[in-house]
A and B are shown apart, each in its own frame.
Chain A
Amino acid sequence: MSDNDTATGEGKPSAPERVLPSVSVEAEPKTVVLKVDSPFYMTGAVLPDGEDEHGNALTLTVTRDGTEVPADRADELIEAAAALGVNLTRSE
């Protein structure tokens, strides 16, 4: 008879239900690396990136060496750069 066999009403009582501590696991935000890919835009591109709480314009600089950006914003940034004549490519 196993220790936790309670079919006969004998043996040890069931172990109290264990409560596991709740751990919230947030998925890491997916990012991609964008690079400036133009021979003459050798430094990079400065793109608008919303406003801070005071209404000041924020900017995001994408460099030739590659800048990590949220994946869901990549298309928006590529379009914003293209409007300046700058070609941004996703890094492999």
Chain B
Amino acid sequence: MAIGDLYNASNVIVGQAAAYFANGGTALPSLSTLAAGGLLGSTGGWNGADPFDPTWILPFLVTNSGSTAFTMTYVRDGKTATTASLTVAGLTAAAIATALAGLSTVGGAGNVTVTGAASPWTVVMKGPAEGGVLTATGTGGTVAVLTSPWLPCGATDQGWQFGANKSTQTIGIEEQSTPVATTVTSQAVSLAASLSEDITRTLTLALNATAQAVAPTTASPGFDNVQLTDNVLQYAVVLVTQNPEGFGRIIYAPAWTQLSNVSVNFRRATEKRMFPVGFQTVCQTNLIQLLNFTAAHS
């Protein structure tokens, strides 16, 4: 398990959660191992043994078309690293994993898994290596890398907070002292955290902003142009955690906005920089999914 430690006594349980986001309307990856070939996230199915294994939501699918050899490049947080050339003949998933694990942007064998006896291979970056862009350059052919639409929200200050706050209206009649009905006038379903990774992805999430990557030229530096907007951006967000049975639990909704107030302290040494986010659903109640897993696939 990659995130948090759990203490289980009489269903009292502690443990952390991980959140991922995508463009508004992005569907939850299929939970079936049989759904390969559609959404990338479906290729691994749901891993009942480890809810925090991102195989189901953050895979790269590497497909070789006629190349005899290829290199792979992984870019994360502005840093780039490229493998030595990998000869396709006799190439194993373990050899690809070893080559990727040696990259400075991946940072060790524990942060990458590769599966598949031959092309296409499924590559998954884990833990601190999540959230980058993988590309491959083939010799004598092409190597395509399909990427998941999801990205991790990243590390937080004090974990994630899930809330469902209802406002109710009591309906009474003069002839009776007790209510005859209670109605729900509004409900706010929210996910909140203080994001602690001071990177472009965090800035765009926290500030309802869009970003444009600008490449360096001979005269100008490269930069991310983060543009704040009054147009309310919508995200699909999924929160993953673990239940007392040791299986996963997923909270997902296809449309959330993030419009919380931001106040960031820039301190020399006292504390880290934190960017509070609070996602609120803007979809129908029945589109909010809460899946509490009870068994691994048979």
Could you list which residues of chain A lie within 8 angstroms of chain B, going by C-beta atoms? 37-48, 57, 59, 75, 78-87, 89
A20 to chain B, nearest CB (A): 41
The number of A-B residue pairs with CB atoms under 8 Å apart is: 88
Listed from nearest, the 10 A-B pairs whose CB atoms lie closest are: A42-B210, A43-B212, A82-B135, A57-B217, A84-B213, A46-B214, A45-B213, A40-B204, A43-B210, A86-B213
Could you list which residues of chain B lie within 8 angstroms of chain A, going by C-beta atoms? 21-23, 26, 73, 75-78, 80, 132-135, 137, 142, 146-147, 149-151, 200-201, 204-205, 210-220, 222, 225, 227, 233, 235
Complex Cα distance A79/B201, Å?
20
Chain B residues near A82: list those with CB within 8 A. Answer: 73, 75, 133-135
Which chain B residue has the least Cβ–Cβ distance from A58?
Answer: B217
Partner of A84, one of B75, B149, B217, B220: B75
The answer to whether B215 and A45 touch across the interface, beta carbons within 8 angstroms, is yes
B226 to chain A, nearest CB (A): 9
Chosen A-B contacts, 19 in total, with CB atoms closer than 8 Å, are A37-B149, A38-B133, A39-B22, A39-B23, A39-B26, A40-B151, A40-B200, A40-B211, A42-B233, A43-B212, A45-B215, A46-B214, A46-B215, A57-B218, A57-B220, A59-B214, A59-B215, A83-B73, A86-B133
A8 to chain B, nearest CB (A): 63
B167 to chain A, nearest CB (A): 31
Beyond A37-B149, A80-B215: 9 further Cβ-contacts under 8 Å?
Answer: A39-B26, A40-B211, A44-B212, A82-B135, A83-B80, A84-B75, A85-B75, A85-B76, A89-B146
